[in-house]
Every structure is written in structure tokens, then in C-alpha cells.
Amino acid sequence: MLIIVLVAGVTIGFVSYLIWLENYWKRRGIHGIKTDLLFGNIKKLIVGKKPFPCSVLDRYRTLKGFKLKHGGIFTYTKPTYIPIDPMIIKHILQADARHFLSRGLYHTPADILSMNLLNLEGERWKCLRAKLSPTFTSGKIKITHQILLEKAELMAAVVGKSVDDNQLCDIKDVLSRYTIDIIGNCAFGIESDSLQNVDDIFIRYGKKIFERSRLKLVLLQVLPWNLLAYLGYRSEGRDISRFFSNFVARMIDYRKTNAIYRKDFLQLMLDTKIDDHGLTLEEITAQAYIFFTAGFETSSNALQFALLELAGNPEIQDKLRGEIEEVLSKYHGQLVYEAVQEMVYLDKVVKETLRKYPATAALPRVCTKDYKIPGTGLLIEEGIRVQIPIYGIHMDPEYYPLPEQFNPENFNEENKAKRLDCSFLPFGEGPRICIGMKFGLLQVKIGLVTLIRQFVFVLNNKTIFPVNVKDRGGLLTIKEDIWFDIRRI
């Protein structure tokens, strides 16, 4: 009998706590989106019934429908603040970013790969960011231009062979190999040659990185970090961790043994000193890992989405091709760095691609110091999570009329002037804006110009268009396979 009473008491107490917690946002005077006990607002996401981008969009539209500036949800039992007003978002990401410099992403020294620039926070992040930023200046990126051109031509040759052999081209795979080969050369000074070698080890591990189980994602959200570390949790499998550790160690040893000095990402890390100490092998490995993962899938996805929309909108494809030929005629047909910068319509096409298909559907932040939202009485307490709904903002007709349509003119000067700051966030904003933004844009633009200049892309009848999107390893991707009918020009 006593056991029954105890169990009943614990159950009642736990349910009462969940009910009290459910009213967290209501007690603070803002709208809390209806939640499920225990699971919060992510039950459909956990069981795979609704992709994360669709959940972000639904919540945004719910709050927008009530004409609200912000609202709240729960990630399991953790309150999460969702601002949808660009002015509030600007304060969080820019003006008052010092209160929100944490992304709230798991990292611990016991998990080497987790200690990367994306996950780090505090002084360690600040110092490392400052030291690595020089790698991504316009001048340094310009140096890589010729390498990008060579890899783009190799990519076009692979596509051309499929066309000549009258075979359907697996464009997603080709684009992934293009970005892998660029990263290998520009970051680490190696020729990975995945465009020629179908069994290339880098492409194999690159794909494995984004095959995270749903269970691992759930554990990250539910369990405290110290418990995860105690249990030996790793953000990646041991084979991936071992691969990057061994690869970086071999590259460093080879350079030192042969007195090789290259102006690339790896060399910058070898030269970097924080507090008069160089980066450890583990720290270099973590940064190499995040450079690889951040540059691999994001750029290939952007190219994939751009080609998809150009194939689905042939008049836009023709207009882009016309600009390419017009600009290149001034440079004797050579795709030099200055020519890419001169292509205004190309820039609009790429930005519209990133508007409709941002790399990630939402930006995570954690409040690191109590903060009062300007113009409201709401106090965001230290430790509260924040989710910036990028996908919702980008699909809002207030900022982008007919948002489901692909319209590069959303980014002409007149339309850009009408929009509020922080209504276009493909790379984030503020101190934690994507450090590799310029490099990523350049490899996407060079890849796109090279392909559109040589081929016409038409949607194959096997391709579902408009596409459905899903979340894969935190990135927005296409749910179904896509296929093109491609012909040479």
C-alpha cells in the first residue's frame, strides 16, 4: 500500500510540475504554442512525422497569425523563446549579442570533434574566431579562385560524360564531390580527387557525418552535458573521430618533415597562438572537422537547389546564361575573379536560392545573462534557449511577396531597400555570422556559372517539383531524389 501511495505521489507531483512548466510562457505574458506534456512542441519531429523546417514554418505562421512579435515553445521540458519580429532579432544577433553569444551546442574536451568554432563559446571562442578570421578575407579567398575554377571544370567534365553517354547524371553526388575536392585542396593542400575516384575516402566519411540517428539528437536535448560526457557520448562515431585525428596528425607531420609551408587553413592553425601557446593537435583536429563539414554539404546543397529552380524556371536560366556570356565577353571568355563579382543577376539567383532554401531552418542561441526584450516587459532569463526561425522569416509574404515562387528580383536594390534588417539570414548575423560565408558563396557561384555556361538543365519527369524539404544532420535538404535532362550548349 505504501508503495502505491509513493508511486501515486511521485506521479501526481511530476504531472503537476509539467503542468506548471507548461504555463511558463503564460506567466510571463507571452503566447506559448500549445504543447504536449513531456515532449513539448517537438513530438511530431521526434517520431518523424514532421520535418524540422516544416515545424519551424508552422510555429512562425502561428505566431504571425496572432499578429505577435514573439512566442514560446518547449523542447521537451526546456523553455525556448521564439522571436519573429526582425527588430527583436536584430537586438539578439547584433546590438545586444553579448547576451546571446552561446549557441547552446554540446562540447566537451573528452569529445575532440565537439570542441570546434561552431560549438565553442566564451573567451575560447572569441580568441579562436579572431585568429581564424584572416583566412576568410576577400584577399585570401581571391587566391583560391584558380583552384575553384579547376575543380569546377572537372565537375563539368563528369557531367558532360554522363550527357555524352546518354545517362542520367546523379547531380547531387557530383556536386558533393566538387565541394569535397575544393575543401581538400584549399583547406588542407591535398588532392582528394573524389570527382575521378568514386571510392574516395573523403566522400565516404563526408556522407557518414550527416547520418546521425534520431536517438542521438534526442539524448542531446534531454540529458545534461556533464552526464553525456560521463556516459562517453560522442557527437560523431569513433571511426569518424579517428579518421580526422589520424588525417590531421599525418598532414602536420608531413609538412614538418618536408618543410612545407602553404597559405591555407591548416597552416594558419599551425601558426595560430592563443595566450602565447599554439593550438593543440586536438584543437586543430576539431577546427579541421568543422571546416570540412560546414563547407561540404552546405555548398553542394545550395548548388543543388539553384539548379533545381533554374531547371524549373527556364526563363530565369536563360537570363542568367545571357548575363554570364555578356560579362565574360569583356574578359575574353575567362571566368576571372572580377568577372564573378560583376555578375549582378548571378548574385540575385544565389541569394534567392538561399532565401528559399537556407542551409538551416533556425538559428540556436542561449541567453548567457538575463536580458529584457526592448519595447516589452519580457525578461529572458539566463539559460533560456532562443530559436531564430530563419525559414519562417524567409517564407513570409510581408518581406517576400509570393514566397513559394523563385524570384531573383526579390534582391534588386528597390526590394532590398524595402525590407527590414535581419529579414534575410542565410548565414546568421552579428559576431557569430558564418565565418566562411564569402568562400562558400564563391564556390557556389563558380560552380553554377561553369555548369550553366556549358549545359541546359531541364527537369526530368522523375523529379518532384516543387520539392519537399527535410532536415538532415541539422541542414535543410531535398526529401526526394532529383534528376535532370541535361544537354550540351
CA distance 103 to 118: 8
Would you say 186 is a known binding-site residue? no
3-state secondary structure (DSSP) of residue 317 = helix
- 267 contacts 440 by C-beta, under 8 angstroms: no
Burial label for 415, CB within 10 Å (0-12, 13-18, 19+), is middle
Residue 256: CB atoms within 10 Å: 10
- Sequence length of the chain is 489
* Among 385, 34, 22, 82, CA closest to 221: 385
3-state secondary structure (DSSP) of residue 455 = strand
Is-cis flag, bond preceding 466, omega within 30?
A: yes
* Among 171, 175, 151, CA closest to 162: 171
Residue whose cell numbers read 514566397: 403
- Mode of pairing for the β-strands spanning 379-380 and 371-372: antiparallel
- 270 contacts 255 by C-beta, under 8 angstroms: yes
Q: Residue 475 is inside which H or E element, if any?
A: strand 475-478
- 429 contacts 437 by C-beta, under 8 angstroms: no
HSE (CB half, 13 Å, CA atoms) of 343?
A: 31
Residue 298, C-alpha cell as written in the block: 552546405
DSSP string covering 357-392:
S-SSS-EEEE-SS-EEPTTS-PEEPTT-EEEE-HHH
Alpha helices in 210-264 (DSSP H): 214-222, 225-230, 238-257
Q: Residues within the annotated binding site?
A: 434
Binding site membership for heme: which residues?
Answer: 434
